[in-house]
Amino acid sequence: MKKKKLNIVLFGPPGAGKGTQSQFLIERYGLVHLSTGDLLRAEIKAESPLGLQAQEIIGRGDLVNDDIVIAMIRNKIEAHHAAAGFIFDGFPRTKAQAEALDGMLNSKSEPITAMLALEVPEEELVKRLLNRGKTSQRADDQDEAVIRKRIGEYEQKTAPLKEYYSAQGKYTGIDGVGTIAEITGRLVQAIGE
Ligand code: AMP
């Protein structure tokens, strides 16, 4: 029988540590990391038409159009069909994105295994992002107003996805404050494999 794929949504507000933790989890479980933020930043770097459009939106702290990020994820899932599974980092961010992702994965009988939500208080997030901005070159990490806008977008449009995955019995909250290793340990325990 085909081995069941491990498809994890690593969830949480900007600055929760999704990117950092993804690096440990992809190594441990042999997964492919899909970060829509990274994919969009690659488009910006390449100065593609999509990149130029995205740059402005990201710079304001708004969300990029659902159709664009859904198409990006669809292409990547197709390109890595033999993977042991995926870590979705920064996607889905809206209900439309979550429904599209379920549509893609369920049609292949490779559904989301778990949604692990890193929980970090807002003031800690702002502190981490301003700190990251000193070295990350990310324009959206340089300005406290943009950081707070992103957190607001998360609260309004993305946080409700906890209920979406909860209704499927897939949501687990993870304390996202502590050392990197402590938080990795909590995630591994929650994955339980
Ligand atoms: P991130 O690297 O995940 O923090 O994403 C950086 C920025 O890219 C976000 O603030 C959004 O403007 C945009 N972005 C990334 N992923 C998505 C997504 N799934 N939906 C909409 N916008 C996104």
Fold that domain 6-31+83-191 belongs to in CATH: Rossmann fold (3.40.50)
When pLDDT is averaged across residues 59-73 and rounded to a whole number, the result is: 97
How many whole angstroms separate alpha carbon 170 and alpha carbon 88? 14
The proportion of the chain whose per-residue pLDDT surpasses 70, expressed as a percent, equals: 99
Lateral strand order in the sheet of 8-11: 32-35, 86-89, 8-11, 114-119, 171-175
Q: Which of 36, 50, 94, 129 best tests ligand 1's pocket when mutated (most atoms within 8 Å of CB)?
A: 36
Instruction: Report CA(76)–ligand 1 centroid distance (Å).
Output: 16
In three-state secondary structure terms, 34 is strand
Lowest mean pLDDT among 10-19, 55-64, 131-140, 145-154: 131-140
Question: Residues with beta carbon inside 6 Å of ligand 1?
Answer: 14, 36-37, 40, 57-58, 61-64, 69, 90-91, 93, 97, 140, 150
pLDDT interval class at 2 (50, 70, 90): low
How many Cα atoms are found within 13 Å in the side-chain-facing hemisphere of 16?
23
pLDDT interval class at 146 (50, 70, 90): very high
Quick one: pLDDT at residue 181?
A: 97
Quick one: pLDDT at residue 160?
A: 97
